[in-house]
Amino acid sequence: MSHWKSLALVLGVIVAAAAVQMPPAAQTRGPGVIAGNVKSADGRPMEGVIVSARAADKTFTTSVFTDRQGNYSFPSLDGGQYKVWAQAVGFEAGRAEFALAGGRTERNLTLTPIKEVGRIVKQMSGVEYLQSLPQSTPADRRMAHAYKNNCTGCHTASYTLQNRWDARGWGVLVDLMAVFPSTGEPVPAMRPTPERPGNPMIRAYRDELAEYLGRARGATELQNLKLLPRPTGEATQVVITEYDLPRTDRPNHFDDGTDWSMGTPSRFIGRAAHDVWPDAEGNIWMADDLVPGRTFAKLDPTTGKVTDYALKGEDGKSIATHSVVVDYVGRVWATGHGNFVVLDTRTGNMKEFRRPAGMRAAVGGTLDVDSKGRPWATSLNGVIMVDPDTGEYKHYEGPPAPEGLCGAPCGGWGTYGNTVDKDDNVWATNPGLDRVLKIDSRTGQVTAVNLEPLVMPEVTDVDRQRRRTVRASQNSAPPGHKAPRRLAADPNRDLVWVALYTSDRIARIDTKTNQVREYAMPTPYASPYALAVDKNGVVWINTMNHDVLTKFDPRTERFTEYVLPTRGTEIRHVQIDNRTDPVTVWAPYNRSNKVVRLQFPAAATRQTASR
């Protein structure tokens, strides 16, 4: 995010910074407080249990965590008929229903341990599945990484690993994954053929993956479960609000990841918002790449109301969007149908900036806006920009792949992540090449910052050969590949931060020297997808296989993971509202039709800083 956008988010709303941010209708109108204690069946208090509350007439759920003594307390909530439930992996959920009419209502809950291994497995997150796979030998550890790198680029590991098949069945699924992203044909036609063999990297690992997965998730249930510890300390000092995001074409599915015992839900109905961005009034704007009749959506956090905006394309259908940014004058920009689209929040007018006929480079992937209000997006092996005043497009091509890498059949190299730094230089990622591109705002020169392969003892000569000869991407790569996916600029410092998707790391790039420093994520197999940098220089990271939002403080080099109340979130974007103090964090769930907000009580933040 550029420094101009950061400034725009701060100006005009300073008074909001003094308020402790709480869920909708909680700041002045709430007549009651829900509190209580959570214990296990043996009477011991349970720390780090997620406790959620939802009123019958609301479209959002509020969640908090228990402290060391097992106590929980919600911020003030509107009166009404409430359901309250507490969840922890390995335990039956504790539930209560009651009317909140004012004052303080206490409900103590007891969680009973689950004895059946299969039912515990169903509750697990993607990283817990991955860490529980057989890994006692280097060969098995290699295949666990090969599975994570090639079979979780479009969905969390828990979606497939919650099921069991023999080697033949897993082979069929790998074949499906190899062709699915590249075809729009009906499901019966989604199979490899000589004319359409599918993703070359996935195909290269096909037989090895089928054998390993058939052995790991076949006839016998997982036994050596690696369950993550529940949150403690700072990680419990958060209020989480999850807003329903209704679809215009069908009702939301009953299984939206709220009940962990049901496992990870299907994305067929749950997919909607891809990116989110707050405006200067606190509204949340969303890009949607699936729901018919929705080009943009706006969420009012005070009420939970969602308003849809549809812009028709040349084909007469509503333009689907992938990435969204609100610029410093309040325009909402998005990528869609290969062109930029924009919505003026003051007038409600929408416009598509169509590319010149015959222009091969197309708007895709993600975007950002520079200080002049020009949107930039990824395109082919480079970035593409449009001048809002003239409608003129310009494309900046990245340098070719290093000689000898992948070879001629690989074709062009895609870009995915995109950001603009505080000096208006544009940065983009080449996930398949393990490199980041920099476009100088003054000269237009494009240079590459190359990332060194990850050193892993499990990597074999076969993997190194495939890295040289088979085209990789953010969704398919050999062990040892890093696949820089999305990135974000620090609004106040000469830094760009990059999510290294397949290596479970984040990288910091000095924008003046191009020097790179990497940091390992706290939980292996998390798969960092995107990140955002707040006004204090703190980095916020979303992950594909881990149902958390992660904070990284560069000053202390400390990570904090905030566990989310939904299973199978599949977050593809995270953004910050810098108007508040502490900042507010927003992200869309791309599998379960929700948008999440994280708020941090100011008192808790001060206490943490003083320790």
pLDDT at 190 over 80: no
- β-pairing, 32-40 vs 109-111, is parallel
**Contact call for residues 376 and 420 (beta carbons, < 8 A):** yes
The confidence band for 29, taking pLDDT boundaries of 50, 70 and 90, is very low
Percent of the chain clearing pLDDT 70 (strictly above)? 90
Q: What is the DSSP string of 125-166?
A: -HHHHHHHS--SSHHHHHHHHHHHHHHSSSS-HHHHHTS---
User: Averaged over 190-197, what is the pLDDT?
Assistant: 72
Residues above pLDDT 90, as percent of the chain: 79
Residue 26 scores a pLDDT above 80 = no
Q: Assess whether pLDDT exceeds 90 at residue 380.
A: no
Enter the DSSP assignment of 502: G
Q: What's the mean pLDDT in 123-138? A: 97
pLDDT at 56 over 80: yes
Q: What is the predicted pLDDT for the residue at 291?
A: 87
The sheet carrying 558-563 orders its strands as 528-533, 539-543, 548-553, 558-563
Query: Of 185-189, 273-277, 464-468, 490-494, which range is least confident?
Result: 185-189
| Domains identified in the chain and CATH numbers | 18-115 (2.60.40.10), 118-216 (no CATH)
The tens digit of pLDDT for each residue in 295-312 reads 999 999 999 999 999 999
Instruction: For residues 46-50, give the mean pLDDT.
Output: 98
What six digits make up the tokens of 296? 């943009």
Helices (H), 461-509: 461-469
Determine if the peptide bond prior to 484 is cis (ω within 30°): no
The pLDDT-based confidence of 559 (bands split at 50, 70, 90) is very high
Higher pLDDT, 608 or 376: 376
Using 50, 70 and 90 to split pLDDT, how confident is the model at 110?
very high
- Quick: pLDDT tens for 69-93: 999 999 999 999 999 999 999 999 9
- Per residue in 143-152, pLDDT (tens digit) is 999 999 999 9
| pLDDT of residue 476 exceeding 70 | yes
- Whether residue 297 contacts residue 334, with contact meaning beta carbons closer than 8 Å, is answered with no
pLDDT at 199 over 80: yes
Lowest-pLDDT range of 100-104, 258-262, 413-417, 516-520: 413-417
Tell me what the mean pLDDT of segment 3-7 comes to: 41
Which run of H or E residues covers position 121?
helix 117-123
DSSP 210-275: HHHHHHHSSSS---S--PPPPP-GGGG--EEEEEE---SSSPPPS-SS-SGGG-SPPHHHH--EEE
Tokens of 21: 């941010």
Report residue 254's pLDDT band, with 50, 70 and 90 as the boundaries: confident
In the predicted structure, residue 123 carries a pLDDT above the cut 50:
yes
| Structure confidence at residue 96 as a pLDDT band (50, 70, 90) | very high
What pLDDT score does 31 carry?
A: 80
Confidence of residue 410 (pLDDT cuts 50, 70, 90): low
Q: What is the pLDDT of residue 401?
A: 81
Q: Which residue has the tokens 């308003």?
A: 307
Calpha distance 256→591 (Å, rounded): 8
Instruction: Check residue 102 and give its pLDDT.
Output: 86
Is the model's pLDDT at 419 over the cut of 70? yes
pLDDT (0 to 100) of residue 251: 75
Q: What is the pLDDT of residues 509-527, one digit of tens each?
A: 999 999 999 999 999 999 9
For position 412, what pLDDT does the model report? 56
Residue 184 reports pLDDT greater than 90: no
Q: Whole-angstrom Cα distance, residue 265 to residue 155?
A: 11
Burial class, 523, CB count within 10 angstroms (exposed 0-12 / middle 13-18 / buried 19+)? buried
Tokens of 204: 């290269």
Tell me which H or E stretch contains 120.
Answer: helix 117-123
The terminus-to-terminus CA distance of the chain in angstroms comes to 31
pLDDT at 112 over 60: yes
Q: Does the pLDDT at position 127 exceed 50?
A: yes
The mean predicted confidence, pLDDT, of the chain is 90
Answering whether pTM is above 0.85, one says yes
For strand 32-40 and strand 94-100, is the pairing parallel, antiparallel, or unpaired?
unpaired
